[in-house]
Amino acid sequence: MMVIDFRMRPPVGGFLQALMYRNVQRTAKIARSIGMELPPSVFEESVELMLKEMEEAGIVRGVVQGRRVDPYMGSVPNEDVENFVRAHSETFFGFAGIDPSNMEEALAEVDSVSKNDAFRGIVLEPGMLTVPMYANDRRIYPIYEKCTRLSLLVVVMAGGNVGPDISYSMPVAIDQVAADFPKLTLIISHGGWPWVTQILHVAYRRPNVYISPDQYLVNLPGVNDYVLAANYYLQDRFLFATSYPFLAFKQAVDYFKGLPFKPEVIDKLLYKNAAGLLGLD
């Protein structure tokens, strides 16, 4: 069974300066807290080993998500994402990190991304900016509007530790954006956790919302609710992701396959839904 990993950050370029690699013991501690271990490729900072680990897990494609956030967490230049994707064009797709703090620059970058075949969309992490924003901050709306016109996918990190307090992960912001831009495809990384039933309700009422819980699907409260939704109304809008380096590929895929998903939906969740978004069909 083929697998697409919809959120991963390879050990290369600016990613190595981000907190996830800069403090790998912190990353390992987070993984252990949910019963997982980091793979050797993370400690060795080896792309070659990472590719081998992906192959062993059956992961045939990966989505490399850029990052424009507070310097402590570590931003990643979109050029680094593009260079990596072009060097491995048969395997990876890029999503460009966008900082809405400077709107003129952000809109110019969105324009550039729309003309660059290395990218399929953008990533917004508004709660992790130096001056945090909520996803429904009206200052971000010109970006949503432009992405709608350009048919760009938009990943919004809304879940987990996405801001200075828990309010930055509240799904009401996603609900409002999805309602205001009904033709915009919104992919919610970190799956809105811990507001699991609430974000699943947003996806129930907003057909333009996709859910990707990634590491927050693993051994945490809410797992059964994600699975229930994915087995029924959300089966065409649920995406698998490892959030690598936080999860090892094979361990994550094996865990996912061990969850009580209905046999007829598992291929959608692991491959087909992502393939459709990425234009692989």
The predicted-structure confidence for 231-251, as pLDDT tens digits, reads as follows 999 999 999 999 999 999 999
Q: Report the SS3 class of residue 200.
A: helix
CB atoms within 10 A of CB 72: 10
Q: Which residues of 183-217 are buried (b: 16+ CB within 10 A; e: fewer)?
A: ebbbbbbbbbbbbbeebbebbeebebbbbbbbbbb
Per the DSSP assignment, residues forming a β-bridge with 3 are: 59
Rounded mean pLDDT, 131-155: 98
Rounded mean pLDDT, 217-226: 98
Q: How far apart are CA 226 and CA 212, in angstroms?
A: 10
Quote the pLDDT of residue 1: 87
Quote the pLDDT of residue 26: 97
pLDDT-above-90 percentage for the chain: 99
pLDDT at residue 281 greater than cutoff 90: no
The CATH code for residues 3-278 is 3.20.20.140
Q: How far apart are CA 105 and CA 111, in angstroms?
A: 10
pLDDT tens-digit profile of 184-203? 999 999 999 999 999 999 99
pLDDT at residue 97 greater than cutoff 80: yes
How high does pLDDT run on average in the chain?
97
For the chain, the domains span 3-278
pLDDT tens-digit profile of 40-94? 999 999 999 999 999 999 999 999 999 999 999 999 999 999 999 999 999 999 9
Q: Are 251 and 68 in contact (CB under 8 A)?
A: no
262 pLDDT band, cuts 50/70/90, is very high
